[in-house]
Amino acid sequence: MSSSKVIHAFYNDDEVVLDAVKKVKAAHHHIEEVFCPFPVHGLDKAMGLAPTRIAIASFMFGVTGLAVAIWMTNYMMIQDWPQDIGGKPSFSWFKNMPAFVPIMFEMTVFFAAHLMVITFYMRSRIWPFKKAENPDPRTTDDHFLMEIPVHNNEEELMTLLKETGAVEINVVDSDSH
């Protein structure tokens, strides 16, 4: 069984790696992954990644929280145990709604925030006690790593990556990391 090889090109500046990604993509090479110590603005567009739908999920979680808050305040304060607090009538949720606005706001934020964290971890496949998939520890400190699969074009890729400003280029077995 033959193992596939990948090239790890290291960069030490975010602008350089962003330009390098654009040049590698312009040369029609596939970039498997770019590992960065911090988010690089525009890198997702340069790599051609699809836009995220996480904002839609957040909105839906917030709407769910708002619905739960409306149901909860109606059940607790109107149906289950109606009380006359400060002269406010407890016969209708709509008459008491201004008093429930803080509860509705907080439940909307609570649901959106907590469910977004869970969604992010599930979408990113980050589980408790999961082994890190980072191929080089320097990418958590001060280096950027571009991982490109090799398909009988090793010399061409090496030349291109040197032109883009890579400070270090290594060919490694993709099964080893």
Count Cα neighbours of 128 within 13 Å in the Cβ-side half-sphere: 1
Give residue-wise pLDDT tens across range 122-159.
Answer: 988 888 888 888 888 899 899 999 999 998 888 899 99
What's the pLDDT at 94? Answer: 87
Q: What six digits make up the tokens of 93?
A: 């949720």
What's the pLDDT at 177? Answer: 57
Report the CATH fold assignment for 5-50+134-173.
Alpha-Beta Plaits (3.30.70)
Closest CA to 90 of 101, 106, 79, 102: 79
Task: Give me the phi and psi of 146, to 5 degrees please.
Answer: -105, 125
Closest CA to 17 of 146, 135, 136: 146
Q: What six digits make up the tokens of 125?
A: 């496949």
Hey, CA dihedral for 23, 25, 27, 33, is it positive or negative? positive
Q: Can you tell me the mean pLDDT for 72-97?
A: 82
> Where is pLDDT greater, at 4 or 10?
10
Closest CA to 52 of 152, 124, 143, 136: 124
* Rounded Cα gap, residues 43 and 21, in angstroms: 8
What's the pLDDT at 30? Answer: 92
Give residue-wise pLDDT tens across range 31-42.
Answer: 999 999 999 999
Q: Is the pLDDT of residue 114 over 70?
A: yes
Parse the chain into domains and list their residue ranges.
Answer: 5-50+134-173, 54-123
Closest CA to 11 of 114, 136, 105, 125: 136
Q: Taking the model in full, what pTM does it have?
A: 0.70
Residue 133, sorted as left (phi over 0), alpha (psi -120 to 50) or beta, turns out to be: alpha
Give residue-wise pLDDT tens across range 42-78.
Answer: 999 999 999 888 899 999 999 999 999 999 999 998 8
User: How high does pLDDT run on average in the chain?
Assistant: 90
Burial readout 32-70 (b: 16 or more C-beta within 10 A, e: otherwise): eebbbeeebeebeebbeeeeeeeeebbeebbeebbeebb
- Report the percent of the chain where pLDDT is more than 90: 61
Q: What six digits make up the tokens of 153?
A: 């074009």
